[in-house]
């Protein structure tokens, strides 16, 4: 079967480091847009990214990126940019050279390479310090110069391993805006991160990983549906919280109804959200409770992550 | 598949290759590697290794200046041959090439920077060739300079007699031979140590084994001797060293071959080892945590 030239495809991929499992039987395909790999340390996120970019070879299975494999390096690495989490640089390198020389290896002539280098430095906010040695950069600057190198040749697939680590809030916001702009151009952006809130906001889809396995994959709402057996949390801001909590408890599918500490709302955990919304309508129309706001409290990566992995995704 | 089909396939493959891109990539890799390998304080001990005999010859020339006699030229030619054959071609180039060529890939693994080389549109074979050539440029530049300096200081002190020995006698021919042997030694040992660095995480122990093999190879059959670098180098040395006893093992030539065959043989050995390295590099993975 010819691999789809639009997709990133993992076909039953396993990777073992000797006896140690990296990832096991991973199968999925990713469409353009922002995809987040979420999982605790050691869950296999970096292994998946390294497999995607050919830094390691699968023990079993096959990986295709836009129909290409790393065994075709000239075509492959013109399409792929990878910002690894290795915080190391060739000794004595200046920021500008760190981007310029790889571009020359791409085959760009001096003028074009210089233009692309300056453009990437601007986009990463590193133009002012480009002539300084990387060894003198702060952690955030080193992160951004690696990002600049990864995007300099305008790849169609941008793979970013923990790209927000070490960035201050301003740089983080700028980086996120950059990822979104790249994704809007129809490119693949693959991000791994522990910062679930940010991943949640920018992701088109998530791949949840635990102990080398993909435990869920798809759009956040789809993933939520995959785990519908787990109770869903609904936050209701209302005037008579105790009354609503009591009514909710009469329903079989409601697992928990917790009155908020300020007394102006209830956090309900239910296995049947539709039924709960019907009850809520009934109570509201009966005038027993005045509702200010209703919102699903856990339709984000963090809560899905907790359901699936039993951890908050923080560093292990 | 017939031979004609095979030739046609090879021709088609060759036409499809972006040779120009490969050439430009190799020149960039060589430039960057030379900067990284040659102009660094970490390499000071290599310079010392290469220049130690030069310092000794200069010291000898200064201390012997008063008693300088043109009849000593023959004796000093033997001394120079000893320095070349016993020091440069066996120890100096061996250990320098070990330091330079094993560091080309293994050093980048230690510094955790090799992934940058693997994430650019460069075939890994091109990477091997580029790094190898960079190592050769560094080693050859260093040793050719040292050999030339040794030669110059050895004969310059004899004044007109020295000049006559070099330009009207056998001196110049000997110099060219030494420069050729030095370059070939760098190529041969370089290829060996590059391959070792791709085979072993710590290439020092295999390096010591290679050293042992290069030393005892003369006692093995002729076909086995052809698998050592010194086998080819010995045939190209212009001055015979009259060594006896156990030291004769360094100079004994069991089965003489022509200089042309010796050069060709060493180049073939180098290409064969480089081809092996091209296969090995495809097995290489970025797993810094296990280094």
CB A95 within 8 A of CB B118: no
Interface-testing mutation among A63, A73, A95, A147, with chain B (most B C-beta atoms within 10 A): A73
CB A95 within 8 A of CB A149: no
Choice between A272 and B91, residue whose per-residue pLDDT is larger:
B91
Read off the tokens for A187.
């490119």
Model-level pTM? 0.83
Is residue B16 included in any domain, yes or no? no
For the domain covering A8-218, report its CATH number: 3.40.50.300
**B22: contact with A, CB 8 A cutoff:** no
| Residue A227: predicted pLDDT | 62
From chain B, pick out residues whose CB is under 8 angstroms from the CB of A80: 119
CB A77 within 8 A of CB A154: no
Nearest-angstrom CA–CA distance, A3 and A228: 32
Indicate the angle between helix axes B160-167 and B171-199, nearest 10 degrees: 70
pLDDT per residue over B2-53, tens digit each?
Answer: 888 889 999 988 888 899 999 999 999 999 999 876 667 777 888 888 899 9
| Residue A67: predicted pLDDT | 94
Q: Is the dihedral of CA A115, A120, A126, A132 positive or negative?
A: negative
Range B141-168 average pLDDT: 91
pLDDT per residue over A153-209, tens digit each?
Answer: 999 999 999 888 777 888 888 888 888 888 888 899 999 977 666 677 788 898 988
Interface-testing mutation among A74, A79, A148, with chain B (most B C-beta atoms within 10 A): A74
Interface-testing mutation among B32, B107, B110, B116, with chain A (most A C-beta atoms within 10 A): B116
Q: Of A179, A306, A295, which Cα lies nearest the Cα of A234?
A: A295
Is residue B227 included in any domain, yes or no? yes
Instruction: For residue A135, give how far its alpha carbon lies from the nearest alpha carbon of chain B (Å).
Output: 13
User: For the purposes of burial, counting CB atoms within 10 Å of the CB of A44, is it exposed (0-12), middle (13-18) or buried (19 or more)?
Assistant: buried
Instruction: For residue B205, give how far its alpha carbon lies from the nearest alpha carbon of chain A (Å).
Output: 23
Range A34-63 average pLDDT: 92
- Whether residue A8 is predicted with pLDDT greater than 90 in this model: the reply is yes
| Residue A315: predicted pLDDT | 39
**B111: contact with A, CB 8 A cutoff:** yes
Q: Total structural domains in chain B? A: 1
| Residues in CB range of B195: below 8 A, 6 or more apart | B273, B274, B276, B277, B280
Nearest CB among B32, B121, B285 relative to A106 is that of: B121
**DSSP secondary structure letters along B91-124:** IIHHHHHHHHHHHHHHHHHHTT-HHHHHTSS--H
Nearest-angstrom CA–CA distance, A146 and B115: 12
From chain A, pick out residues whose CB is under 8 angstroms from the CB of B123: 73-74
**DSSP secondary structure letters along chain A:** -PPPTT-EEEEEEEEEETTEEEEEEEEEEE-SEEEEEE--TTSSHHHHHHHHTTSS--SEEEEEETTB-TTSHHHHHHHEEEE-S-----TT-BHHHHHHHHHHHHT--HHHHHHHHHHHHHHTT-GGGTTSBGGGS-HHHHHHHHHHHHHTT--SEEEEESTTTT--HHHHHHHHHHHHHHHHTT-EEEEE-S-HHHHHHH-SEEEEEETTEEEEEE-HHHHHHHTTTSPEEEEEEES-HHHHHHHHHTSTTEEEEEE-TTSSEEEEEES-HHHHHHHHHHHHHTTS--EEEEEES--SHHHHHHHHHSS-S---
Read off the tokens for B266.
């060493």
Percent helix, percent strand, percent coil in chain B, to nearest 5: 80, 0, 20
- Whether residue A19 is predicted with pLDDT greater than 90 in this model: the reply is no
- Whether residue A127 is predicted with pLDDT greater than 90 in this model: the reply is yes
Domain with CATH 3.30.70.100 in chain A: 230-309
Strands across the sheet with A265-270, in order? A254-259, A265-270, A232-238, A291-296
Q: What is the 3-state secondary structure (H, E, C) of B207-261?
A: HHHHHHHHHHHHHCCHHHHCCCHHHHHHCCCCCCCCCCHHHHHHCCCCCCCCHHH
Among A96-110, A194-208, A211-225, the range of highest mean pLDDT: A96-110
Domain with CATH 3.40.50.300 in chain A: 8-218
Nearest CB among A56, A82, A90 relative to B36 is that of: A90
Query: To the nearest whole percent, how much of chain B has pLDDT over 70?
Result: 92
For the domain covering A230-309, report its CATH number: 3.30.70.100
CB A309 within 8 A of CB A213: no
- Across the interface, whether the CB atoms of A88 and B113 are under 8 A apart is answered yes
Range B262-282 average pLDDT: 94
Query: What residues of A are in the B interface, CB distance below 8 Å?
Result: 17, 50, 53-57, 73-78, 80, 82, 84, 86, 88-92, 101-102, 104-107
Nearest-angstrom CA–CA distance, A208 and A26: 11
Which of these ranges, A18-32, A207-221, B199-213, has the smallest mean pLDDT?
A: A207-221
Confidence class for position A313, pLDDT limits 50, 70, 90: very low
If you ran DSSP here, which 8-state letter would residue B202 be given? S
Which of these ranges, A58-67, B92-101, B201-210, B282-291, has the smallest mean pLDDT?
A: B282-291
| Residue B244: predicted pLDDT | 67
Q: Of A86, A108, A284, B153, which Cα lies nearest the Cα of A117?
A: A108
Identify the H or E element spanning B199.
helix B171-199
- Across the interface, whether the CB atoms of A91 and B288 are under 8 A apart is answered no
- Across the interface, whether the CB atoms of B115 and A76 are under 8 A apart is answered no
pLDDT per residue over A136-147, tens digit each?
Answer: 999 889 999 999
Nearest-angstrom CA–CA distance, B60 and B5: 65
Mean pLDDT over the full length of chain B: 88
| Residues in CB range of A203: below 8 A, 6 or more apart | A34, A35, A36, A191, A220, A301
Nearest-angstrom CA–CA distance, B232 and B207: 19
Closest-CA residue of B relative to A146 is B116
Is residue B6 included in any domain, yes or no? no
Query: To the nearest whole percent, how much of chain A has pLDDT over 90?
Result: 45
Confidence class for position A58, pLDDT limits 50, 70, 90: very high
| Residue B133: predicted pLDDT | 96
Nearest-angstrom CA–CA distance, B225 and B93: 19
Read off the tokens for A37.
């790999």
From chain B, pick out residues whose CB is under 8 angstroms from the CB of A55: 115, 118-119, 285-286
Mean pLDDT over the full length of chain A: 87
| Residue A314: predicted pLDDT | 44
- Whether residue A312 is predicted with pLDDT greater than 70 in this model: the reply is no
Instruction: For residue B9, give how far its alpha carbon lies from the nearest alpha carbon of chain A (Å).
Output: 19
CB A165 within 8 A of CB A85: yes
Interface-testing mutation among A57, A88, A156, with chain B (most B C-beta atoms within 10 A): A88
Range B214-221 average pLDDT: 83
| Residue B216: predicted pLDDT | 85
Question: Which domain, by its residues, includes B142?
Answer: 22-290
- Across the interface, whether the CB atoms of B123 and A73 are under 8 A apart is answered yes
- Across the interface, whether the CB atoms of B121 and A107 are under 8 A apart is answered yes
Cα A129 from chain centroid?
29
Q: Is the dihedral of CA B261, B267, B273, B276 positive or negative?
A: negative
Residue identified by tokens 């830094």 is: A55
| Residues in CB range of A42: below 8 A, 6 or more apart | A211, A316
- Across the interface, whether the CB atoms of A86 and B18 are under 8 A apart is answered no
- Whether residue A231 is predicted with pLDDT greater than 90 in this model: the reply is no
CB A50 within 8 A of CB A74: no
- Across the interface, whether the CB atoms of A102 and B120 are under 8 A apart is answered yes
- Whether residue A316 is predicted with pLDDT greater than 50 in this model: the reply is no
């Amino acid at each position: 079967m010819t691999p789809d030239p639009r997709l990133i495809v993992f076909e039953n991929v396993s990777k073992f480091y000797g006896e140690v499992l990296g990832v096991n039987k991973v199968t999925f395909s990713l469409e353009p847009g922002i995809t987040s790999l979420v999982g605790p340390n050691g869950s296999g996120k970096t292994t998946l990214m390294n497999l995607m970019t050919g830094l390691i070879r699968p023990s079993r299975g096959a990986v295709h990126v836009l129909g290409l494999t790393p065994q075709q390096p000239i075509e492959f690495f013109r399409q792929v940019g990878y910002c690894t989490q290795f915080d190391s640089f060739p000794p004595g390198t200046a920021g500008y050279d760190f981007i310029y020389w790889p571009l020359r290896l791409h085959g760009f002539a001096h003028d074009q390479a210089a233009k692309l280098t300056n453009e990437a430095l601007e986009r990463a906010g590193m133009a002012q310090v480009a002539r300084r040695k990387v060894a003198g950069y702060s952690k955030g600057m080193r992160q951004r110069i690696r990002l600049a190198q990864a995007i300099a040749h305008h790849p169609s697939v941008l793979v970013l391993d923990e790209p927000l680590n070490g960035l201050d809030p301003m740089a983080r916001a700028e980086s996120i805006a950059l990822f979104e702009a790249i994704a809007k151009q129809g490119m693949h952006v693959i991000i791994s991160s522990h910062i679930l809130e940010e991943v949640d906001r920018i992701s088109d889809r998530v791949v949840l990983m635990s102990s080398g396995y993909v435990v869920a994959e798809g759009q956040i709402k789809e993933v939520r549906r995959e785990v519908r057996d787990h109770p869903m949390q609904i936050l209701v801001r209302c005037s008579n919280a105790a009354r609503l909590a009591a009514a909710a408890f009469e329903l079989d599918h409601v697992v928990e109804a917790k009155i908020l500490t300020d007394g102006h709302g209830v956090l309900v955990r239910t296995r049947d959200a539709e039924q709960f919304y019907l009850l809520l309508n009934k109570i509201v129309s009966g005038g027993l409770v005045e509702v200010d706001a209703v919102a699903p409290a856990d339709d984000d990566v963090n809560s899905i992550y907790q359901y699936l992995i039993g951890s908050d995704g923080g560093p292990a | 598949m017939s031979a004609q089909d095979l030739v046609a396939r090879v021709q088609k493959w060759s036409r499809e290759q972006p040779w120009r891109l490969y050439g430009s990539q190799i020149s960039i890799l060589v430039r960057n590697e030379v900067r990284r390998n040659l102009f660094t304080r970490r390499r000071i001990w290599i310079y010392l290794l290469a220049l130690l005999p030069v310092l000794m010859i200069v010291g000898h020339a200064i201390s012997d200046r008063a008693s300088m006699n043109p009849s000593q030229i023959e004796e000093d030619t033997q001394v120079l041959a000893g320095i070349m054959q016993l020091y440069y071609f066996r120890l100096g180039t061996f250990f320098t090439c070990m330091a330079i060529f094993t560091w080309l890939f293994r050093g980048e693994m230690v510094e955790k920077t090799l992934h940058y080389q693997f994430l650019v549109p460069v075939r890994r074979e091109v990477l091997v060739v580029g790094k190898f050539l960079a190592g050769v440029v560094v080693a050859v530049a260093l040793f050719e300079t040292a050999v030339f300096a040794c030669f110059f200081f050895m004969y310059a002190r004899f004044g007109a007699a020295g000049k006559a020995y070099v330009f009207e006698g056998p001196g110049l021919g000997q110099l060219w031979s030494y420069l050729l042997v030095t370059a070939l030694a760098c190529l041969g040992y370089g290829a060996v140590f590059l391959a070792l660095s791709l085979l072993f995480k710590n290439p020092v122990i295999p390096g010591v084994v290679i050293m042992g093999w290069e030393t005892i190879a003369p006692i093995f059959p002729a076909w086995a001797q052809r698998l050592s670098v010194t086998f080819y180098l010995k045939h190209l040395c212009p001055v015979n060293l009259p060594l006896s006893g156990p030291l004769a093992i360094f100079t004994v030539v069991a089965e003489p071959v022509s200089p042309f065959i010796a050069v060709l043989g060493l180049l073939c050995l180098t290409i064969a080892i480089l081809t092996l390295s091209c296969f090995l590099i495809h097995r290489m993975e970025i797993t810094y945590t296990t280094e």
